[in-house]
Amino acid sequence: MKKVDVGGKALVVVNYDGEYYALDDTCSHAECSLSEGWLEGKKLVCPCHGSQFDLGSGEPMTLPAIMPIKVYRTRIVGKSVEVDTDL
């Protein structure tokens, strides 16, 4: 996982089994940085209170978070990961 700034927006980019995901870096529950968390399978775990978010949809899988986080399309161009923030 890596925190990146894309157009002034903090995102976390995750490489899970060769597939790249980009999500808002801020937890919808307590505004913690998700890039400081960890993965449990295809779930991103918030380091503050343990909320888990689905990498593909951004939906919360566990409490205390109840609101999803935004996800962004990614694509590989050469050796770079591009993130589409125009969604």
* C-alpha neighbours within 13 Å on the C-beta side of residue 81: 20
Task: Give tens-digit pLDDT for 7-37.
Answer: 888 999 999 999 999 999 999 999 899 999 9
The DSSP code for 6 is E
Residue ranges and CATH numbers for the domains of the chain are 2-84 (2.102.10.10)
Let me know: does 69 contact 57? Beta carbons within 8 Å.
Answer: no
pLDDT on residue 51: 98
Banded pLDDT at 52 (limits 50, 70, 90) = very high
- The Cα 82–Cα 66 span in angstroms is 28
